[in-house]
């Protein structure tokens, strides 16, 4: 039976409280301020900021899970909130966080690197960050994972955005294998990309009950077929 979780966030970029971090490259980091208030009604969590609304819905199933959302996170604080309140509690949600962190890295390397390190094992973050830098010449990498985006339409996604994840049922894969190095169980999921392609990623559920973390995502950061004339319309 599917479980539906909704996170409604209202975000703003107002004067003051501007991050003092300097980006490695690219534009200045965006405003990153704490939310004004937070409330919860059942499986809906609402964060109030000055203006603007970002909505995230995780629909988790035994074989197929989806994240439906209106915008990519604008700030490090929003990303952390998504992880703590919703996505980091679930294995497919953590695969979703992985792709969200990739897009944040594309937009701002300094903020994106913090997001990558937050959700990955230290070893995997060290491997992943240089690979992301190498893929900056393919700004449509994450767009290729969104529902409706294919090489034939220049990776133009449907809206609202949808990321789809499949339980890896490959008989050669051991689900729930124990990792003594990280004290937790490792699980395999596919992320759907380029329409009907599948790429494997692994996440780890720690024994101590803390947030799920990314264990391996090398396949997710592989290059995608090149397109010409891609228009960046991602919100």
Q: What is the predicted pLDDT for the residue at 2?
A: 47
pLDDT classification of 10: cutoffs 50, 70, 90: very low
pLDDT classification of 115: cutoffs 50, 70, 90: very high
Per-residue pLDDT tens over the stretch 42-84? 444 444 555 467 778 888 888 999 998 888 988 898 899 889 9
pLDDT classification of 39: cutoffs 50, 70, 90: low
Beta bridge partners of 11: none
d(CA 187, CA 14): 40
**With 60 as the cut, is the pLDDT of residue 5 above it?**
no
Q: What is the predicted pLDDT for the residue at 206?
A: 96
| Whole-number Cα distances in Å, 152 to 93, 129, 204, 230 | 28, 28, 35, 11
One-letter-per-residue 3-state SS of the chain = CCEEEEEEECCCCCCCCCCCCCCCCCCCCCCCCCCCEEEEECCEEEEECCCCCEEEEEEECCCEEEEEECCCCCCHHHHHHHHHHCHHHCHHHHHHHHHHHHHHHHHCHHHHHHHHHHHECHHHHHHHHHHHHHHHHCCCCHHHHECCCCHHHCCCCCCCEEEEEEECCCCCCCCCEEECCCCEEEEEEEEEECCCEEEEEEEEEECCCCCCEEEECCCCCCCCCCCCCCCCCCC
Per-residue pLDDT tens over the stretch 73-86? 888 988 998 899 88
Q: What is the predicted pLDDT for the residue at 37?
A: 63
Q: What is the predicted pLDDT for the residue at 54?
A: 78
Q: What is the predicted pLDDT for the residue at 59?
A: 85
**With 80 as the cut, is the pLDDT of residue 21 above it?**
no
**With 70 as the cut, is the pLDDT of residue 25 above it?**
no
């Amino acid at each position: 039976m599917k479980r539906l979780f909704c996170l409604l966030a209202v975000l703003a970029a107002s004067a003051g409280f501007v991050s003092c971090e300097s980006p490695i490259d690219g534009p200045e980091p965006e405003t990153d301020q704490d939310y004004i208030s937070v409330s919860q009604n059942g499986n809906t969590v609402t964060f109030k900021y000055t203006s603007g609304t970002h909505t995230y819905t995780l629909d988790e199933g035994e074989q197929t899970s989806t994240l439906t959302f209106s915008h990519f996170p604008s700030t490090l604080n929003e990303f952390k909130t998504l992880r703590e309140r919703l996505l980091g509690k679930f294995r497919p949600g953590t695969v979703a966080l992985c792709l969200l962190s990739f897009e944040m890295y594309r937009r701002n390397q300094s903020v994106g690197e913090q997001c990558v390190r937050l959700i990955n094992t230290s070893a995997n973050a060290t491997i992943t960050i240089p690979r992301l830098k190498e893929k900056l010449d393919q700004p449509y990498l994450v767009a290729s994972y969104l529902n409706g985006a294919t090489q034939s339409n220049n990776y133009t996604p449907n809206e609202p955005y949808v990321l789809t994840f499949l339980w890896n049922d490959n008989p050669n894969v051991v689900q729930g294998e124990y990792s003594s190095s990280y004290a937790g169980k490792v699980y395999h999921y596919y992320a759907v990309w380029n329409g009907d392609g599948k790429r494997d990623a692994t996440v780890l559920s720690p024994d101590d009950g803390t947030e799920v973390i990314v264990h391996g995502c090398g396949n997710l950061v592989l290059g995608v077929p090149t397109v010409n004339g891609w228009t960046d319309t991602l919100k």
